[in-house]
Structure 1
């Protein structure tokens, strides 16, 4: 399998730097191909740094691949996330950096591929002239498109298309969320092509044109370069990165005999699950004008032909039922709503230490399907108009989580409703002012970090919080 993978990245037509990175190479033992696209986020320097950290971590951890591939991929992504987060803590200029990625590992010998995905980079499978999108976009607009609520054309032009709900580098606790990394696996049959790409391609080039290029003539390098050219010809608004891998093994052939002396060859066929099966033509009939020996012979030949056609039809059905299907096993993805995505992004990008939340900016209540993470050293969140945080009916995690590095976080005039744990904090960072908890099993859950091998003395006082004399009614 020579020349069966290729990667290329381009700065585009409107950017001054390239925050994308990719991997297109074999693992150390030569039995696996690594195909990965990483899209950096966070400004001129930050995105490049996050993408480079992730690329280095993947090459380090996947230099030798053995055992269960999917857990190995997930652990590698968790490690890359922690390295990005640690780098941010040591450099204020990189505090907004993050990255998204799609990682595919191809088992050459066993005709399988595995993938792990976070964000809005994409994985496609081309099989028998059908282009199938495997990964799901971790964004609100991507969810609308994947669920059929928004057309591809409308999604490509949507003003919030690039607002993502998941990325590496913002939350150090992703290992505790089994749904954070989307994973799956599928057969990789002879003739199949995998495409891994950044949104710089799919924001500008639609699926039909991508398919036309991939099914056209030329090598993988030719096709990769044509995809880059297609994005740049439509404006090249972002960095564009493409990685291609192909199973270039020859399709297997099987032979079958029929009652006649001639031998028919049946070529293995890959089924498109979306297409209707094409039925073979039935036996032709010859009108009989008059009774004669010749007519009798014609009828006998017709009956013999029908019998042979019926035998071949039954053989074809049995053969098709044995063919492998494109079966992708994916971990369900949590999809955040627009309000919580907006609020998390506002917290992450806040330059100062005071955040005013108004009910004119956020619909009421703010339904949380995932934890809001506060990573800052100090932050004062003041609500105006009675802000209510409400747990989604299917969510059982914390409403708000404070990082271990937080020193002074104030929540003023907000309400929590229906959470198992409303606020998860560490040490003594949390300060509450006029906060209401309704239907919360654990309003505040506090953990303390102590150095190892040291004697600890002290006491947790119960008077740190009190019931306010001023009763505030949440709207």
Structure 2
């Protein structure tokens, strides 16, 4: 498992505390890699608590993986949602806390990854030096960017960029709404890499800079550290979290079955099509949380 996964979190240049957390580890049976980024929301340490509760719930559910993978990772988010709501009911000072998260389960043996996503943390696939955005930001600005109505630069500078539509810990009915959690799966081929990150990275670095760093030769630890350093150099306005996973299997020189990723002209990021997703892309909704 040498250099197959790496995670790092940093407070940034302006925050006093870190409301981000992450998971980058093997399941107990060594079958899967768990990669997860969690970004807490809420003042008075509420964001930190929400993120910690979500992390604990996810690890507890994945301690003994069982059943189909997509339903299992949906269960992770349902449990996290339940734990956060229970804490909010117990402690009114944390009434505004919640978290956003992206969770990926990587089956290296079968060359496949599965993911679940709520909020504006992100999942990217790196293949053949192309950066493919897999998850959809569940925010109004994210919807405009993903649908092509805003450029990446316009979205990064939009005053409502950090208003999100969905989060864990907001709605006790989350478990009954099949469309609340974005899910999907895709081949994870030899040479492929996954990047999971909080908005502390993507608010500071555009896709061109991220792609340059992540496709440069070096160990995952080096790439992760360079991403955090670059985000801090550009302002470090929020907590920054990065998780990287790589498929280090030898790539066949002539692999005729390998699906190609074709970059769009003048674009450093490709938005994933429906082949990666179990459901349609998120629809725009009124913002409910200002981060």
For residue 241 of structure 2, give the secondary structure of its aligned residue in structure 1. Answer: strand
Q: Matches of 2:277 and 2:95 in 1, distance apart? A: 35
Aligned pair partner of 1:330 in 272, 278, 282: 278
Deviation of 1:108 (Å): 1.2
Give the aligned partner of residue 272 of structure 1. Answer: 260
Aligned to 2:31: 31
Cα distance in 1 for partners of 2:274, 2:128 equals 11
Counterpart CA distance in 2 for 1:103 and 1:135 is 10
1:326, distance to aligned residue in structure 2 (A): 10
In 1, the alpha carbon distance for the partners of 2:117 and 2:161 equals: 18
Distance 1:91 1:189 in 2: 46
Question: Secondary structure of 1:13's match?
Answer: coil
Alpha-carbon distance, 1:268 to partner: 5.4
Gaps of 5+ in 1: 254-265, 277-324, 350-475
TM-aligned CA deviation for residue 75 of structure 1: 1.1
Matched, 1:152 2:140: no
Q: 1:275 to 1:43 in 2, by over 3 A?
A: closer
Structure 1 residues 223, 268: closer, same or farther in 2, change over 3 A?
farther
Match in the other structure for 2:195 = 195
> In the superposition, relative to structure 1, how do residues 211 and 88 fare at CA in structure 2: closer, same or farther (>3 Å)?
same
Tell me if 1:90 matches 2:90.
Answer: yes
CA distance in 2, matches of 1:275, 1:158: 25
- Residue in structure 2 matched with residue 185 of structure 1 by the alignment: 185
Residue pair 1:5, 1:220 contacting (<8 A) in 2 also:
yes
CA gap of 1:326–1:247, structure 2 versus 1, over 3 A, is farther
User: RMSD of aligned C-alpha atoms?
Assistant: 2.0
Partner of 2:143: 143
Distance 1:46 1:222 in 2: 32
- Equivalent residues of 1:128, 1:270 under 8 A apart: no
Runs of 5+ consecutive residues of structure 2 not aligned to the other structure: 265-272
Structure whose alpha-carbon radius of gyration is higher: 1
Alignment of 1:410-421 (within 5 A): none
Deviations 1:71-114 (A, max 9, x none): 01101111110110010011011000000000000001100000
1:279-318 maps to which residues of 2 (within 5 A)? none
**TM-score (normalised: structure 2):** 0.93
Q: Counterparts of 1:275 and 1:56 in 2: how far apart (Å)?
A: 38
Encode CA deviations 1:16-56: one digit per residue, 9 max, x unaligned: 00000000000000010000000000014000000000000
Distance (whole Å) between structure 2 residues aligned to residue 182 and residue 326 of structure 1:
12
Which segments of structure 1 move beyond 3 Å, counting only runs of 4 or more?
Answer: 266-271
Once the two structures are superposed, residues 384-427 of structure 1 have per-residue CA deviations (whole angstroms, 9 ceiling, x without a partner) of xxxxxxxxxxxxxxxxxxxxxxxxxxxxxxxxxxxxxxxxxxxx
Alignment of 1:211-360 (within 5 A): 211-252=211-252, 266=254, 270-274=258-262, 327-337=275-285, 340-341=286-287, 344-345=288-289
1:63 lines up with 2:63 in the alignment:
yes
Kept in 1, the 8 Å contact 2:128–2:261? The answer is: no
Q: Tell me, in whole angstroms, the C-alpha distance in 2 between the residues paired with 1:44 and 1:90.
A: 15
- Greater relative CO, 1 or 2 (CA 8 Å, sep 6+): 2
Give the TM-score of the pair, scaled to structure 1: 0.57
CA contact 2:141–2:160 (8 Å) conserved in 1: yes
**Whole-Å Cα distance in 1 between the matches of residues 161 and 275 of structure 2?**
28
